[in-house]
Amino acid sequence: MGTTTRSALEQEIDQLIRGEHGDPHRLLGRHGLEVRAYRPEASAMRVVEANGKKIDMRRLHPAGVFTAETTTDEPYRLEVDYPDGNTITVEDPYRFWPTLGELDQYLLGEGRHHRLWEVLGAHCRVHQDAYGTAFAVWAPNARAVRVVGDFNLWDGRVHPMRSMGSSGVWELFLPDVGPGCRYKFEVLTQQGHLLLKADPLAQQAELPPGTASVVTAPDRHQWGDGAWLAERDRQDFHRRPLSVYELHLGSWRRRTEEGGRPLTYDELAEELPAYAAEMGFTHVELMPVAEHPFGGSWGYQVSSYFAPTSRYGTPDGFRRLVDALHRRGIGVIVDWVPAHFPRDEWALARFDGTALYEHDDPRKGAHPDWGTLVFNFGRNEVRNFLISNALYWIEAFHIDGLRVDAVASMLYLDYSRKEGEWIPNEYGGRENIEAIEFLRELNDVVGSEHPGVMTIAEESTAWPGVSQPTGGGGLGFRFKWNMGWMHDTLEYFEKDAIYRRYHHDRLTFGLLYAFSEHFVLPFSHDEVVHGKGAMLTKMPGDDWQRFANLRALYGWMWAHPGKQLLFMGGEIGQWSEWSHDRSLDWHLLEWGSHRGVQELIRSLNLIYRDTPALWAEDFNPEGFRWIDASDSDSNVLSFLRFGDGKVMACVANLSPVVRHGYRIGLPEGGSWREVLNTDATIFGGSGVGNGGAVWASDHPWHGLAFSAEMTLPPLGVLWLAPES
């Protein structure tokens, strides 16, 4: 330390021993030819020079601080004796330069480091000719930070980290530490409290209920989806078919012969792509894949944003699952949760003893319904953390879409709060301006860097322009879940047919706003939990009517403007609600009625994908025309879909009676093929129909130049297309 006096040196050593030294490299490591080292409770230490020469070190402090003059400035190792007779030889972490450059630190402070996962967290690398792991964590208000783990017996005294100044980052390179080591950060707060925290940028976590982070090997997966990604980025997804199968990885299928355990990522890679492709879905949407503490949840309380949950395997295992889906032509959407995070003391909450990721004031920083904390979207580093995380899933795992959860809770300062429990914005309003700007920035960054990737908002209010470009004042999402359509449609179908005439508007109202956003029509996981019943049990009537109603509901949904999303189990007519600790009831497929529902979903998807009229103009009012929306007494509705020069007619009879000779107006004459009939026997129906086709004569009806008389099956939906 050059001119540093003995007393100053002693003060620094005392600070080190107390665990309060913010720059241990200034004290330890090589300084000229002098080497200083600290190993708690060591009885003796020696410097081992590159040529093998050993130099005894002189004790500076009884706690284990030693010094020695070396003969060369080349790399060295330390030989440490302990009172129990053990001797170990280790690299000295304090001889290494920082692994973060000045540009990284500058971008971190500006909140513009969009590849945050490349510099923070734990990274195996070769640094100054030594292999080890570089640790870095953002904790700007900490007095000191230490890294602890398997490699130092969780003793925070051994490895204090170096403060990187105004960036708020603490850094340390540990040679000889490699993949699989568990670790955490020991954070000393300004108040003197010691916190033990998981790494916010950890790319792997140990299996819950353990909470440690895990050092991860660099990505070794050899991707085989280059053709998929190239084609994805060329497509206009608004004018493409999108039919999404939403599933919870841990309860889709289980190994009953092995105690009902969940499938691993690799087992899912063998089974899920084939099933999704066979069923005709274009995409799967996976429930929150990021690590979360409680397995009985959906996973929306995320504790490690950069770590795929270890419940089903390793990060590379998850990569293999995504790759396998892509190779079968199936896109992958993951649920993403930037709205809030749990209060677990070992995770993000008050990370450095202050409200670092959250707001300090609970009127802005605490969510009353979920018992969680709200991100501080006004802080550059927090926005950077979240945007970087979104890009991480896209780039590290080739994800094709992010479904953003709980957007409404982000947009409104008074969301689920009573008077006095929230703070108005600077203009006195209830809009969360900081969250709005964050969402726009997120969507602009993703859209600019990955134009083929979708962002999808789960937003339950009438906020305008959710899926409109930010340049025009929108939020910039590519799609928005149509929660209003979902609730109205289910409310109608849950009614007994005799009462439906009084609720006819539930099915027609949605078309008044259907083209104001880029909508996804969701029958999601939220509709089959907490006593809401399964999709099948929502339907009224006896068992025959329940199945017929469910088939009609799906036939109506797939023909309606907008993209489709269906939660697992809905495609087999599951009777029971979702449960996290058991599989779907696949045994139901032994029954014809359940096989019929599954075959219907498969047929809907396959016909839909080959029918541009059902998706090419989903968001253009010219792609839709009512034939008749007014026959409430008969519970019959009919409409036309147009796209790429094609037309499809949809006729729904949502009454349990057969209607013979029912006249429907059509835009073309001649034969119209019965493309789909939800009452067909192959789907478990009664087989009432029109022998495969109807004939449209030049008899004007419903304002159209042609019309056809047809038989409408009970609780059935027909799709008709002109033979020409």
Q: From CA 441, how far away is CA 458, in angstroms rounded?
A: 17
Is residue 363 classed as helix, strand or coil in its secondary structure?
helix
Q: From CA 138, how far away is CA 170, in angstroms rounded?
A: 6
The question of whether 458 is a catalytic residue gets the answer yes
CA 62 to the chain's CA centroid: 51
Of 246, 458, 459, 517, which one is the catalytic site residue?
A: 458
Angle of helix 315-327 relative to helix 380-397, nearest 10 degrees?
60
Tokens of 339: 């709205």
Q: From CA 480, how far away is CA 458, in angstroms rounded?
A: 6
Tokens of 229: 């990604």
Of 92, 171, 285, 405, which one is the catalytic site residue?
A: 405
User: Are the CB atoms for 364 and 340 separated by under 8 Å?
Assistant: no
Closest CA to 291 of 349, 355, 337: 337
Q: From CA 216, how far away is CA 477, in angstroms rounded?
A: 32
Q: Is the peptide bond before 209 cis (omega within 30 degrees of 0)?
A: yes
Place of tokens 């925290």: 197
- Phi first, then psi, for residue 193 (nearest 5°) are -85, 145
Dihedral sign for Cα 688, 694, 698, 704, please.
positive
Q: From CA 12, how far away is CA 17, in angstroms rounded?
A: 9
Q: From CA 269, how far away is CA 670, in angstroms rounded?
A: 47
Q: From CA 635, how far away is CA 621, in angstroms rounded?
A: 24
CB burial of residue 404 (10 Å; 0-12, 13-18, 19+): buried
Tokens of 489: 């449609």
User: Are the CB atoms for 572 and 528 separated by under 8 Å?
Assistant: no
Place of tokens 């190994």: 255
Place of tokens 């009919």: 638
CB burial of residue 277 (10 Å; 0-12, 13-18, 19+): middle
The question of whether 360 is a catalytic residue gets the answer no
In sequence order, what are the residues at sequence separation of 6 or more whose Cβ sits closer than 8 angstroms to the Cβ of residue 137? Answer: 120, 121, 145, 161, 169, 170, 185, 199, 200, 201
The one-letter amino acid at 10: E
Question: 236 vs 305, 473, 584, CA distance in Å?
Answer: 29, 21, 34
Closest CA to 367 of 408, 404, 334: 408
User: Are the CB atoms for 712 and 655 separated by under 8 Å?
Assistant: no
Strand intervals (E) in 382-541: 401-404, 454-457, 479-481, 519-523
- Phi first, then psi, for residue 85 (nearest 5°) are 95, -10
Q: Which residues are catalytic?
A: 405, 458
